[in-house]
Every structure is written in C-alpha cells, then in structure tokens.
Amino acid sequence: MMKKLRRIFYQPYKWLILSPVFVVTTIFFGGLAVVLSSFLKPRISSYLCGATWARINAGITPMFVRVTGRRFIDKHQSYVVISNHQSQYDIFVLYGWLGIDFKWVMKIELRRIPFIGVSCEKLGHIFIDRSDRAAAIQTINAAKKRIVDGTSILFFPEGTRSRSGHLGPFKKGAFKMALDLGLPILPITIRGTRSILPPDTLDIFPGRADLIIHPPVDTREYHEDNLDILVEKVRDIVKAPLAKSL
C-alpha cells in the first residue's frame, strides 16, 4: 500500500519537474556537445557533456548508483566493453559512472532523434544500419581507428533491452571485433535500472542501481573456431550478479 501511495505522489513530480528537466538538459548538453566538438577533442566534450547530462538526470530522478570493481580498469587501455541492457537508464549509469572514454554502437534510427542524434555523431559514436549487413560491417571497420589510446567501444550484445529481466543471448559481433583489434573485453553488469524505468513504459520511479565492473577477459587465446566459448564465458560473467536480483 505504501509503495502504491509513493508512486501516486511521485507522478506530479515526474511530469512537472523531472520530464521538463530531462528535455532542457538534453537540448542544452546536446547543443553544447556540438559546439565544443568544433574545438575540443571528442573525449573531452563527451566527458563534459555526456557525464554531466547523465548525472543531472540521474540525480533529479533520483537514482543512486553504487560502483564496484573500478580497480579493474586501466585508463590507458582500450577495451571492448560488454554490458547487459535492461532499461534506458543504463545509459545514465554508463555515461555518468563508468569513468572511461568510450564510443557507443547505436542503431541508425537513433541518429534521427533531435539533439541526441547529432551530438552523438559529433562525439564520435557509431551508428550502424542493422538492415544492411554490408553497410554495418563497413561502418564498424571504419570506426576501428578510433578505438586506441584508452578510448573503448561499448556494446549491448543482447541487441535490445531485456523485457523479462533475464539476460538474453549474446550476438557475436562485439567479440569478433575484440579479436580483430586484439583488445581485452571488459564485462559490465548493471542491476536495478529495470525497476527505475521498465522497458516500453514511462513508469519512472526512484531507486538504486549497481554498476559492477568485472576483471577484463584476455582474448589472445581465442579465435574464430572457439569464439562461442569466449561469448559464453563473458555472458556467464555478466549474468552471475543478475541471479541475485531476480
């Protein structure tokens, strides 16, 4: 009963304060990213705009984020970052608290979102057309030159948000890229965001989220013939903390 009452009382706040703040900060920081990218390095613009935007919107929700495993990150090392995906609030968690420079791999439809699309393009994020495999491969190959000197690339290998809360199967594209570039994989588990904003709803409610950074996985002993073993190994790592929250 108390939880239902809290949700009822939260609705005016959500629509009258949270939603306008989200719109204003998205327009402001999206525009600022475009301007700053003209004379600053993308990683600096990304931190100033992306991390600040994420933390403001997380704070106004409010969403409280606990980070574990930060000691496993070498900021001079580039990674292929692999994360589960349960909510749009995962974006705030990663942008605001992961603490490394990374490029998203995004579906091309997001390029059309006002302010977000053009700012992400200016910051060097990667849009792929999933309906055109040849074009997607060409885009990824062109993007590989950006993944150097501590800049990483981030994938949601499930391909979409989990509707059930259970971890879906992983697609292999991110793992093939790790092998091609000779980069370690940095597994990430995000917990709690699904209860803050469930998929396919606007039912936002305050809560806590965990960002769990796992030890990097060395990819040097893997190749095309045993790629499935690597995929399942990383998936098991990402999945383990989720079992505790179901």
Q: What is the residue type of 20? A: P
Percent of the chain's residues with pLDDT above 90: 63
- Provide the 10 A C-beta neighbour count for residue 22: 17
Nearest residue to 27 via CA among 53, 3, 51: 53
Per-residue confidence (pLDDT) for residue 74, from 0 to 100: 96
Cα 99 to Cα 43: distance, rounded to the nearest angstrom: 11
Cα 226 to Cα 36: distance, rounded to the nearest angstrom: 43
Kindly indicate the confidence band of residue 221, based on its pLDDT and cuts at 50, 70 and 90.
Answer: very high
Q: How does DSSP assign 115-141, residue by residue?
A: THHHHHHHTT-EEE-TT-HHHHHHHHH
Four-point Cα dihedral 15, 16, 22, 23, nearest 10: 100
Whether 245 has a pLDDT exceeding 70, the answer reads no
Whether 191 has a pLDDT exceeding 80, the answer reads yes
Mean pLDDT value across residues 133-144: 75
* Least confident range of 40-44, 99-103, 190-194: 40-44
Any bridge partners for residue 186, and if so which?
81
Q: What is the DSSP letter of 170?
A: P
Kindly indicate the confidence band of residue 246, based on its pLDDT and cuts at 50, 70 and 90.
Answer: low
Mean of the per-residue pLDDT values for the chain?
Answer: 90
Mean pLDDT value across residues 130-141: 74
CA distances (Å), 228 to each of 173, 187, 225, in order?
12, 16, 8
Q: What residue has token string 């929700």? A: 61
Whether 21 has a pLDDT exceeding 80, the answer reads yes
Cα 234 to Cα 178: distance, rounded to the nearest angstrom: 12
List of domains in the chain: 2-244 (3.40.1130.10)
